[in-house]
């Protein structure tokens, strides 16, 4: 391949970036900072909210963005991974950026980096920063890719740092205990700036680190909280100036209520003007791919670890209590380095049987090994071609048609949901 440039299609750029760096994950900020300096990339002129956590990051980013847009705030977001198109990672006012914008940024980074090697994620993060800065925004909302302290997103100091949850995941990079993982994720906190905590159950290392760096702690259940009353939602928290704020009769959030409370508190702490009406409108309108996403009788969720699976289980059980018990089939594919057994144990409580599918990554567990693990918890249906995910989706659709099940639950990975979205787009009749 010739040297990439402005005329190189985005898909070719992405293929090149996937192949170039020796390690897919190479945590650290030194190389990134050197290239940012060569690009003369300034610190954000907008307010910056950085969101870390094992689960709930994407939902929190989406709610902050939706409420900000409803308030007339110009907002841009950077999230990962994507489902179908890479462009999904960078949004301006809720709209994905163009191929051309990404290619221009990639070309500038390529010209500036010299002999400094960057990972796929680092290259994309710098590109996102360039696009967000050029857009003249009021607010940036950034989702940490992995961990926090050494993640590329942590290059810039956030005005408000958010930590949603801490659970066991990515232990090879973050540590083999909740205390170690919490410490790494708390690495986004800054002296004298708000650290919004989105869980009532966080390891002690999070608060210890926040105290150590002198961050201002706003914890769920203390500084901010919520309660339900006759199917309406009430929230309390603190303003940017420290005054008590109470919001009553809000629409019940479609997403995790802990994340909604955290998103409201984080947005208020930016000091940007946000009315109660904008908060209500944002909560009502927000939608995010792959989080309890319903397409016809299909439910898609990226739950890929026990913590997320347990939450999904509770949501499904509450739905059954409200709307009647549903018969479900489970379509699942997972990464081999996840806690598969405990994840499946939770999901098996709301499924009659399952299909295991392959995922297009070396890290993925093969369908037969996944089936072997799942068979201890629920029946697993075999496919003629175990390596054909489309056959599993087709079988699930047929089970719906035959009345064996009322709903298909798809989960286990972002890549599982992406495969389902692609298949459903190609088979719209299955969505009816």
For 321-379, the DSSP string reads: HHH----EEEEE--BTTS-HHHHHHHHGGG-SEEEE---SSTTBPPHHHHHHHHTTTS-
pLDDT at site 237 = 98
C-alpha–C-alpha distance, residues 249 and 263, integer Å = 17
Hey, how many other C-beta atoms are within 10 angstroms of the C-beta on 424? 20
Of the candidates 52, 89, 255, the residue with the CA atom closest to the CA atom of residue 169: 52
- Using an 8 Å Cβ cutoff, are 68 and 274 in contact? yes
Alpha helices, DSSP H, located in 270-339: 276-285, 306-323
pLDDT, averaged across the chain: 95
List pLDDT tens digits, range 14-39: 999 998 876 767 788 999 999 999 99
Query: Which pLDDT does position 99 carry in this prediction?
Result: 98
- Whether residue 200 is predicted with pLDDT greater than 90 in this model: the reply is yes
What's the rounded Cα separation, in Å, for the pair 13 and 106? 8
Q: What is the pLDDT at residue 176?
A: 87
For CATH 3.40.1190.10, the residue range(s) in the chain are: 10-285
Burial string for 3-33 (b: 16+ CB within 10 Å, else e) reads: ebeeebebeebbebbeeebeeeeebebebbe
Q: Give the pLDDT confidence score for residue 82 in this predicted structure.
A: 95
In the chain, the percentage of residues whose pLDDT exceeds 70 is 99
How far is the C-alpha of 196 from the C-alpha of 262, rounded, in Å? Answer: 7
The CATH 3.90.190.20 portion of the chain extends over 293-431
Exposed / middle / buried, residue 405 (Cβ in 10 Å: 0-12, 13-18, 19+)? buried
Specify the pTM: 0.93
Identify the pLDDT of residue 20.
Answer: 84
* Residue 432 confidence class, pLDDT cut points 50, 70, 90: confident
Asked whether residue 7 carries a pLDDT value surpassing 70, the answer given is: yes
Architecture of 293-431 per CATH? Alpha-Beta Complex (3.90)
pLDDT recorded at residue 1: 55
- Rounded Cα distance between 316 and 318, Å, is 5
Nearest of 292, 412, 288, 293 to residue 347 by alpha carbon: 412
CATH match for 10-285 among 1.10.520.10, 3.40.50.720, 3.40.1190.10, 3.40.366.10: 3.40.1190.10
- Give the span between the Cα atoms of 147 and 256, in whole angstroms: 21
Whether 162 contacts 50, CB under 8 Å: yes
């Amino acid at each position: 391949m010739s040297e990439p440039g402005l005329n190189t299609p985005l898909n070719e750029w992405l293929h090149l970036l996937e192949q170039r760096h020796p390690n897919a994950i190479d945590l650290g900020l030194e190389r990134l900072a050197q290239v940012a300096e060569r690009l003369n990339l300034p610190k954000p002129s907008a307010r910056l909210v950085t969101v870390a956590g094992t689960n709930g990051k994407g939902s929190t980013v989406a709610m902050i963005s939706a409420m900000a847009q409803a308030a007339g705030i110009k907002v841009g977001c950077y999230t990962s991974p994507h489902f179908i198109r890479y462009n999904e990672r960078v949004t301006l006012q809720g709209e994905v950026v163009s191929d051309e914008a990404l290619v221009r940024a990639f070309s500038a980074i390529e010209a500036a980096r010299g002999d400094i090697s960057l990972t796929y994620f680092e290259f994309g993060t710098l590109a996102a920063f360039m696009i967000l800065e050029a857009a003249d925004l009021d607010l940036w909302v950034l989702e940490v890719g992995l961990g926090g302290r050494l993640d590329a997103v942590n290059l810039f100091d956030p005005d408000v740092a958010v930590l949603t949850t801490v659970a066991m995941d990515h232990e090879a990079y973050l540590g083999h205990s909740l205390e170690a993982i919490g410490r790494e994720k708390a690495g986004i906190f800054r002296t004298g700036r708000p650290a919004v905590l989105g869980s009532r159950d966080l390891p002690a290392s999070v608060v210890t680190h926040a105290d150590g760096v002198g961050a201002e702690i706003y914890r769920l259940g203390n500084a901010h909280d919520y309660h339900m009353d006759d199917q309406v939602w009430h929230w309390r928290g603190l303003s940017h100036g420290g005054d008590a704020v109470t919001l009553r009769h809000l629409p019940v959030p479609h997403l995790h209520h802990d994340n909604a409370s955290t998103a409201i508190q984080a947005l208020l702490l930016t000091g940007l003007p946000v009315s109660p009406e904008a908060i209500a409108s944002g909560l009502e309108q927000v939608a995010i791919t792959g989080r309890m996403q319903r397409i016809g009788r299909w439910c898609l969720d990226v739950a890929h670890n026990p913590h997320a699976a347990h939450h999904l289980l509770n949501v499904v059980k509450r739905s059954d209590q409200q709307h009647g018990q549903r018969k479900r089939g489970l379509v699942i594919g997972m990464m081999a380095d996840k806690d598969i057994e405990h994840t499946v144990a939770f999901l098996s409580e709301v499924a009659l049987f399952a299909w295991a599918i392959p995922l297009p990554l070396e890290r993925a567990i093969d369908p037969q090994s996944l089936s072997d693990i799942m068979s201890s918890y629920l029946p697993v249906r075999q496919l003629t071609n175990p390596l054909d995910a489309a056959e599993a989706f087709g079988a699930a659709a047929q089970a719906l048609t035959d009345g064996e099940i009322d709903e298909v639950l798809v989960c286990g990975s972002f890549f599982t949901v992406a495969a389902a979205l692609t298949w459903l787009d190609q088979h719209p009749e299955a969505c009816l």
